Amino acid sequence: MENFENFEKLLKSACIINNFISQSHNLYLKAYPLKKFSEIYQVDVRTFKKGIKLFNPKIGIRIGRFYTINQVKIIFESIGTPEFLSE
| Band of pLDDT at residue 1, cut at 50, 70 and 90 | low
Going from N- to C-terminal start, the domains of the chain cover 2-86
Reported confidence tier of residue 67, pLDDT bands at 50, 70, 90: very high
pLDDT tens, residue by residue, 23-43: 445 677 889 999 998 888 888
pTM score: 0.65
Would you say 74 and 54 are in contact if contact means Cβ atoms under 8 Å apart?
Answer: no
Q: What is the pLDDT of residue 82?
A: 73
pLDDT at 42: 85
| Residue 32 phi, psi (nearest 5) | -125, 140
Whether residue 81 is predicted with pLDDT greater than 60 in this model: the reply is yes
